[in-house]
Amino acid sequence: MPREHRKRGKKKKENKEVVKHELGQQDEEIHEEPNTQWMETNDEINLEAPFGYVDPDLKGYFRTVDVRIQDWQSQDYVQDDANEEGNTNEDKRMFLVAALSETSGKELQLSTDPDCSIILERMLHSMDDVVIRVFADRLCGSYAQLAQHRFGSHVCQTLFEVASSTVSREARGRIAKPADSDSAGVLRTMTELTVAISEELLPSLSQLILDPFGAHVVLSLLVLLSPQITRHPDSSHPNTSLTRSKKSAAYKSRQGSMKSILSSGAEQTSTAVVPSTFKDLAAKFVDALRESTDANEIRAFAANKVANPVLQAMIDLEAQQGKSDTPGSLIDSVLMGTISSLAQGTEPQQSNYVETLLRDPTASHLFEALVRHAPAKAFQALWNLYFKTKLGRLCSHPVANFVVSKAIVRLDSSGLLETLQEVEPVSSKLIKTGRTGVLKSLVDQAVAIGAHEEAVSEMLCRAVDIEESSIQLLIPCLLTLKSRKAYSKTTNSTDDAEAGSESTEPTVQGAVILQSMLRLSDPYNQRVIQSIHAQSTDEILSLSRHPVSSRVLDAFLDSPSVALRDKRKFLLSLMGSYHTLVDDRIGSRVGDRCWACADPFLREKIARSILPHEMTLSASYYGKYFARNLHLTMLKRDAASWRDMQRDQKKAAAGMSNTQVAKPSPKVDTIPTDTNDSTHTKKRKRATEDEIDSLFSKGSNSRKTLGPAEKKEELAPEPETIKTDDPQLNEVLGAIKKVSKKEGKRKSKKS
């Protein structure tokens, strides 16, 4: 419309009813919207916080809690008597209760928060059994979702780790009762909660195995159900390497010490005890995996970095249940029906898929589990199909050599001899390339079955070109993983001295082989022993000061297969150099082993050789501890009492070693009884009897059985032998003697 035709009209009065109607519609639209547009969240953020966000004030409070708990965890645990005011166990407990009261009802939000989840993990280590059960009960119904969450999965793992101690105590009959008996509902035990958690995760097992976070939660739960699951069957340490990824373990190590602030680590039970129902529960996981996946999917898990560790644990569980030799088992599926063929009486055929498992960096770990848990017939078929006549190439392969090392452990005498003959042509190449795992396994298996030890020793000597005339070079050549010619060329080169010194650095692989050779029986370990005796004193001192080569000397002194005459000869060769040996960070530890290995006669010779250097060692940072252990002042004052003390110490050490040898290896009990616990505690009390208690108990027994004249003769040497074991104990007993003498004089005056 042209501008000249425009006319400004009068303002119209607004209709009040229309305005009210429009405002009402706007209010309805506002109430219909759950959040305004700027507060709406997208799906990605909801996945990060599926249970909501933590209040900022609560998050700030938790940061202060984390700082305080970290400070306590970095300190050593001490009793309340030695604690300062504000740091007693009661103060710590009240502080922890106050922090836990703030988490009530917010456990799910805190578990999925990136900042508060690690604080929850830190607090879990200090929770008692009742609080752990309450926390686990609050998470019930959400474990499947937490297991697939980036931060919630780590909270679940830590919960399962600390719950193992609670389950062990409940299996022994020690069930903690809540303080509030009138609270609503009944708090389930940790055993019942573990069953409920397992039933909750079973339907989504196939999904969790392939989840990068859920797979580790499944592993932690399986370890809780069956603590025998471990990659190292001869190890009794917690198997965190199996349940934690490398990234998670590295992150946890940066968070400082994770331990209880209310108790010491020694108070925790070392033997894992689980109820018998857990065995059936673990079997459900194996059956669920076999039913929900076919053979092709199981074989696909082998090359999957996430699912591979779970499949290893499942194969371990299946072997524990005795189901590995049944057709259709997990091992049978991975091995392309090898067990089924043996059950039908037909020869299994070679598979290209199984051969790829040997050389794949991820799948080779699964092949190690297969070799370890396969039935005897299946293992023999595997050895004939995939290892025999191929060891020359497999031993040199950067991945397959680890599988071969595990397989050698299951060989019998004839199989070991054939393997030695097949590996010997490439032994020098293995030394040169540093892939010595197969050679070490050959030595260990020869020691284990007691066969072909001479052949193994000769093979290793020929691998580095060592003969009887050059036996002195066996130790340095194997330590540096060089042949005799290469080592001589390196040590004699003067053009590039720095390069030569770097190339003669001891290697861990060589030190491990020498330690295994020292465990050979007496006639067959003489090559290594002769090489040690052929080293000069300066060379022995240089070996003792290196963190790698010193382990060879430790194995020489500790090995039961090394004759006492050889150890005695070694100790005598160092006479006059012990003050130099112990004046070093690593050498002082070797000196302690020499002292523990020496008999009373040699101890006196060593101590008298140290006497001229007593003042020098007392000023040494490392040597002063060795000199203090020798009690040189007592030797100068009363040599006879010093000899008696050393004789008693040697007898006590021999008795301790005998009890350690007789003690069985720690096992996992599935059906504990009260009688076993009582006998175990009694044995522990007898083994750890206090020295002062034993002194007074002996004194009371002697007063009952001996006459007045016999008391003095019988009781005189005992305080002397006891007091010299420890300087602090010496002062205590001296004070007791003075008090007893004063009381005796007072009684005589009164009479």
- Number of other CB atoms surrounding residue 389 within 10 Å: 9
The single-letter DSSP state of residue 268 is: S
- Buried-exposed string 666-681: b where 16+ CB fall within 10 A, e elsewhere: eeebbebeeeeeeeee
Q: What is the pLDDT of residue 436?
A: 94
Q: Which two tokens stand for residue 445?
A: 């298996």
Q: Residue 279: left (phi > 0), alpha (psi -120 to 50), or beta?
A: alpha
Q: What is the residue type of 555?
A: A
Kindly list the distances between the CA atom of residue 635 and the CA atoms of 162, 328, 595, 596, in Å, as whole numbers in the listed order: 50, 72, 15, 17
Q: Give the domain ranges of the chain.
A: 45-263+271-276, 293-374
Q: Is 43 exposed, middle or buried (0-12, 13-18, 19+ CB in 10 A)?
A: exposed
Q: Which residues touch 281 (CB under 8 Å, ≥6 apart)? A: 194, 195, 198, 225
Distance CA 255, CA 216 (A): 19
Q: Which two tokens stand for residue 388?
A: 């025999």
Distance CA 474, CA 477 (A): 5
Q: Which residues touch 108 (CB under 8 Å, ≥6 apart)? A: 51, 52, 138, 139, 142, 146
Q: Which two tokens stand for residue 104?
A: 């009530």
Q: What is the pLDDT of residue 185?
A: 73
Q: Which two tokens stand for residue 126?
A: 């200090």
Terminal C-alpha separation, the chain: 138
- Contact (CB, 8 A) for 173 and 180: no
* Angle 65-66-68 from CA coordinates, rounded to 5°: 65
Q: What is the pLDDT of residue 567?
A: 95
- Contact (CB, 8 A) for 341 and 377: no
Residue 679: strand, helix, or coil = helix
Predicted TM-score (pTM) above 0.85: no
Distance CA 435, CA 394 (A): 11
Phi, psi of 594 (to 5 degrees): -65, -40
Q: What is the pLDDT of residue 709?
A: 40
- Contact (CB, 8 A) for 277 and 189: no
Q: What is the DSSP string of 637-656?
A: H-HHHHHHHHHHHHHHHHHH
Q: What is the mean pLDDT of each run of 10 residues along the chain (751 residues)?
A: 56 53 51 46 59 84 82 64 59 82 86 88 86 92 93 93 91 83 74 95 93 94 87 45 61 61 56 86 93 92 93 93 90 92 90 93 94 93 93 94 96 94 94 94 95 95 91 94 90 57 81 96 93 95 95 95 94 94 94 94 94 92 92 91 91 74 48 39 43 46 41 39 49 57 50 46
Instruction: Give the HSE-up count for residue 387: Cα atoms under 13 Å, Cβ half-sphere.
Output: 27
